[in-house]
Amino acid sequence: MADIRITLEELEKTLAEKFEKHGMTREDALKSAGIFTRNAADGVISHSILRVKRMVGHCDCGIIVPTNMPILVSGFSAVERYDANKAPGVLSAGFCMERACELASQYGIGMVALAHANHWMRAGYYGWLAAEKGYVGMCWTNTLPNLPSWGSMESNIGNNPFVMSVPCKDGNHMVLDTSMAQYSYGKLEVTRIAGKTLPTDGGYDENGNITRDPGAIEKTRRPLPMGFWKGSSMSILIDATAALLSDGANTASVGQYMKENGCDETYVSQVFIAIDPRALGESHFQEIEKSIKDSIHNAKPITEGKASRYPGENVLASRARAEKEGIVVSEEVWNSILAL
């Protein structure tokens, strides 16, 4: 089937209808559809349109209870701990980052930890959310075991996405959104289907050799951590901080929970931090921002005409294009959403 083009309005309206049909209140359905649509507009189809069907399935099977919201477990001044209470992942994560921003407006910094959460889809969304309110944002989540720790044959750690964001002039925020795997399974699949090899080493083949062949890595399910031992180490600390602060499940326990309940990924632990730079008085950040962006853009590029970019640089352009031209989706995927 061919690709089709849908407008953001049509996408958002359709998703809101489906989410409401599968149990969300009208208000929550609109909010969730807004997040999925923004993620698609920003170019992250993998964690929006391509995940709608699975997310709706979770509403049906009970992994998500569509009318639930997180419950406050404990709090002290600038820190709070919630239990996600089976709430939809994008709503509970959005709630927590907004709450962290509120705490930051009161205390200069705020931290919210969330236990037993559903998948928040695109990690970077919550970094953008904080930056758009003028806060430095940080957040991270653990995941099911899907990556081998350095030196291990088994996938015993998570790819544990990590986000840092900085509010910049005219909405051109800098937003890091990185998982601890060098390549996602999505990227492996796309590269294999295109008949290409990865640009750098990506994982292990069946003989235990490091390879750039995406299909071989999909078979072993042993992708490489980003930076080898470095991403492995960072994944472990992301897991430990998230589980400790939320008093939730660590990656191994998420895997155990999924096995016991025969279900998809859920029950993850998340941390959200917001810092208010305005609380610290005058800053010369416009000059600093310009110096940072200039130093990235003006460095002599390896490939003539292909300057380095800062994280998040392409997002606003992608969003503007999507607003004007809509989004390209495979007809098959779109039909499967319409059928929900």
Determine if 277 is a binding residue for a copy of itself (CB under 8 A): yes
Rounded CA-CA distance 197/201 in Å is: 9
Q: How far is the CB of 214 from a copy of itself (least distance, A)?
A: 16
Q: How far is the CB of 211 from a copy of itself (least distance, A)?
A: 13
Query: Between β-strands 79-83 and 109-117, what pairing exists: parallel, antiparallel or unpaired?
Result: parallel
Determine if 134 is a binding residue for a copy of itself (CB under 8 A): no
User: Of the two residues 7 and 233, which places its CB atom closer to a copy of itself in the complex?
Assistant: 233
Residues 70-99 that bind a copy of itself (CB under 8 A): 73-81
Rama region for 31: left / alpha / beta (φ>0; ψ in -120 to 50; rest): alpha
Count, residues in the chain = 340
In the residue annotation, 116 being an active-site residue is answered as no
Residues 279-318 that bind a copy of itself (CB under 8 A): 279-285, 288-289, 291-292, 294-296, 299-303, 306-311
Rounded CA-CA distance 52/333 in Å is: 10
* Dihedral sign for Cα atoms in the order 49, 54, 60, 65: negative
| Binding segment toward a copy of itself, per CB under 8 A, in 8-16, 48-56, 61-69, 107-115 | 107-115
Q: How far is the CB of 197 from a copy of itself (least distance, A)?
A: 15
Tokens 């909405």 correspond to 171
Binding mask 180-209 for a copy of itself (x = CB under 8 A): --x-----------------xx------x-
Determine if 21 is a binding residue for a copy of itself (CB under 8 A): no
Report residue 3 as tokens. Answer: 């690709």
Determine if 211 is a binding residue for a copy of itself (CB under 8 A): no
Q: Pick from 111, 66, 229, 226: which is nearest to 159 by CA?
A: 226
Tokens 């189809």 correspond to 45
Q: Which residues are catalytic?
A: 47
